[in-house]
Amino acid sequence: MDHVDSAVRLAVLDGFEEGGLGWLWATDGEGRLSYITQTILDHAQSYIGRPFPSVVETDNSAAAGQPSRSLAFQFSAHSRISDVIVRFAVRRDDQRWWSLSGQPRYTPEGTFTGYVGFARDVTQEYARQREDERAAEFDSLTGLFNRHRMTRRLDAILAAYRASGRCCSLLMLDLDKFKHVNDTMGHPAGDELLRQVAERLRKVVGDRGDIGRLGGDEFQVILPDIEDRGRLGELASKLIQMISQPYAIEGKRAVIGTSVGVAVAPHDGEDREALVASADLALYAAKNGGRGQFRFFSAELKDEAQERTILTEDLREALGRGELELHYQPVVRIADNYVVGFEALMRWNHPERGPIAPSVFIPIAEESNLIVPLGEWALRQACADAAQWPDNVRLSVNVSAVQFAVSGFVNAVASAVATSGIDPERLELELTETVFMRDSEAVDEVFASLKGLGVRLALDDFGTGYSSLSYLRSAPFDKLKIDRSFVETCAAKDNNSAKIISAIIGLAEALGMETTVEGVEAFDQLDVVKKRGAKLVQGHLFARAMPLAEVEAKLESGDLKLEPNGPKRHRPERRSVFRRVTVIHEDHRYEAVMRDLSRTGARIDGLLGVPVGTSLVVDLGGGQLVVSMVVRSEEAVIGVEFEQPLTSDGAGGLCTRHRVPPSTLQAAGAAAEPKGKPRFIQVAVPGSRERT
């Protein structure tokens, strides 16, 4: 009977193996493979004697549903193995997946003798499971992680890092002008644009962090163990640069941009909710600052969202209440310093808040579509004003891409020209390359209509985009305006800005166009642009934008010659500030005022008797501690040099690269007890209200 049972058992096992439904395996007491179904693996016999865990491998890319401990650990622990998903490590071209089970075997005395087990084919069901898991964690359009996966990932990182004090940075991004692409080119084009954006994000971020699409045009990047704001600023700038380059979609060109908000745990939030809120506020500030920028979170951003809502409502009523006016900045011919034209610039004098910078209210106007009625008013008013000027003085008016895209824009220009009676040849419309985001045929029609009216066209901010040269082949521009960013550094050594200015001027001349160089603020800049061939300039060296009454007074007097007046050298690194700081020396803290901040040092007022060579720590607030050395000392004014240079905060200011965590600051504050007498005398600093 036992002989018959053995024969039947062997026949059943042979049938199981030959049917290809699964395979059998066994190991010895050392975990080495002692048996495996011969038909399941090429040259199966050659693997006999190898450690069994080296013959198969688990799926590391899909941990869900997998055991928390490795297969090798389970073997070493002589654990029962149940439904572990594996494939053959020795056959990389074999894409079959198996559910592996095994039972440890022991002698009656309790000595472990090895495993016996089997595996069944689960390739199809496992593929479906992995697809379901992927759908639950990945964005189907871009292949990036989705909001659910990013939420879980950020929660896990922050929980793991909290006890050890490790840092994690969060970048929030959304796309500028994406809605315009969707509206003008269609949703399929918008989807393709999002896929290309995702690919560029992968190229820039690489393996430094996790990238997710939260929905719509919102993206998020998690960067574990990166808190250096110098590195973060460089990465954010690179993201902005890459995403802002043109996209080829369906044979057409689309141009978008992005804004980036950056927050760092634990400084800006210890849990996910707080960190995301901080990054959102920073993103909001970056967009409000003019878009195409990054911003780090800081405590003063918390009120900006509410402030923006209030300003939007106030701006809706500002035009009717007469709060808006136009100022005019001269365009000067540097051969003889004579004014040849004026650029109209909008100003808002709020009845309660006073003057509000265009960099603040123009983005609000664009987002709320108020820019269309405001732009039409500015065009009509500027034409009416300039109609009273001499015929040889031109007028420049800025046109927003939103305003340009409105169907009645050409009629609005025609109406402003006809009503005012101004010679259309004197009117110059300044456009940026964002106007080219529309369908090329529609843009060409608008250009043709405008040239039919006889007005001039200027391409503003030339050189800051990524495809400006292609526009010059077909767009009928009369002038290129060289962006102030090149002028700012044109007098610096080992900088290519001067060469770029020269190249743009040469290009314009070859195409029969004029150029105006913007942002000339110092004599060394004027000398450079003049040597490079510039003929027309704008900038504070000659004049700021002035009210209409002042313009009319100059025109009536006939005094159109402006003598340059300003600093000999431009010092872009210096920032005039009036900021209260704490200065730490030994175990004493002093209150003082910081002035003239630069990347490498500052002037500090309010400490008397500080010798040159004294080492100080300047507390800029928010965990920003700067180790400094006194290099100048005169009465209550000292000049300090920073041990580590500051970095850009993305908003035209400076910040430290690293910060001291809040927990460390609290512990240091609790333990700090002054010992001995203070070395220096703290004195009051005269001045008006604090400003930054």
Please identify, among 130, 165, 191, the residue that sits at the C-terminal boundary of a domain: 130
- pLDDT of amino acid 217: 93
What CATH number does residue 38 fall under?
3.30.450.20
pLDDT above 50 (res 688): no
What's the rounded mean pLDDT across residues 107-134?
Answer: 87
Q: Which two tokens stand for residue 222?
A: 């998690």
The verdict on residue 308 lying in a domain is no
> With a threshold of 0.95, does the pTM exceed it?
no
The verdict on residue 364 lying in a domain is no
- pLDDT of amino acid 668: 59
pLDDT digit string, tens, across residues 41-93: 777 788 899 999 888 888 765 444 444 457 888 888 898 999 898 888 877 67
- pLDDT of amino acid 66: 45
Please identify, among 498, 525, 557, the residue that sits at the C-terminal boundary of a domain: 557
Q: How confident is the model at residue 372 (pLDDT cuts 50, 70, 90)?
A: very high
pLDDT above 60 (res 690): no
Please, what is the Cα angle at 373 between 291 and 281, to 5 degrees? 25
Rounded Cα distance between 163 and 265, Å, is 12
For the chain, give the mean pLDDT.
86
Lowest-confidence region among 311-315, 487-491, 547-551, 639-643: 487-491
Both 521 and 622 in a single domain? Answer: no
Both 121 and 231 in a single domain? Answer: no
**What DSSP element (H or E) covers 111?**
none
Both 527 and 485 in a single domain? Answer: yes
- pLDDT of amino acid 109: 92
Candidate ranges 71-75, 120-124, 308-312; pick with highest mean pLDDT: 120-124
Question: What 8-state DSSP symbol labels residue 561?
Answer: B
Rounded Cα distance between 404 and 455, Å, is 14
What's the rounded mean pLDDT across residues 582-602?
Answer: 89
Region class of 20: left (phi > 0), else alpha (psi between -120 and 50), else beta? left
**Neighbouring residues of 340: CB distance < 8 A, sequence distance ≥ 6:** 331, 332, 333, 392, 393, 394, 536
Both 118 and 185 in a single domain? Answer: no
What CATH number does residue 499 fall under?
3.20.20.450
Both 155 and 221 in a single domain? Answer: yes
- pLDDT of amino acid 198: 96
Domain count, the chain: 4
Please identify, among 130, 160, 194, the residue that sits at the C-terminal boundary of a domain: 130
Both 97 and 182 in a single domain? Answer: no
Candidate ranges 11-15, 238-242, 254-258, 484-488; pick with highest mean pLDDT: 238-242
Using alpha carbons, select from 116, 82, 85 the residue that is nearest to residue 99: 85
Q: What percent of the chain has pLDDT above 90? A: 53
3 state DSSP class of 487: helix
Both 547 and 398 in a single domain? Answer: yes
Q: Which residue has the tokens 């003019």?
A: 290
pLDDT digit string, tens, across residues 388-397: 999 999 999 9
Range of the domain at 79: 2-130
Q: What percent of the chain has pLDDT above 70? A: 90
Q: Which residue has the tokens 């799926």?
A: 59
Both 549 and 589 in a single domain? Answer: no
Q: How confident is the model at residue 573 (pLDDT cuts 50, 70, 90)?
A: low
- Whether residue 139 contacts residue 208, with contact meaning beta carbons closer than 8 Å, is answered with no
Both 35 and 95 in a single domain? Answer: yes
The verdict on residue 230 lying in a domain is yes
- pLDDT of amino acid 692: 33
Both 125 and 145 in a single domain? Answer: no
Q: How confident is the model at residue 228 (pLDDT cuts 50, 70, 90)?
A: very high
- pLDDT of amino acid 468: 54
- pLDDT of amino acid 494: 67
Beta bridge partners of 394: 341
Lowest-confidence region among 255-269, 558-572, 597-611: 558-572
Pairing of strands 607-608, 601-605: unpaired
SS3 string, 271-283, reads CHHHHHHHHHHHH
pLDDT above 50 (res 135): yes
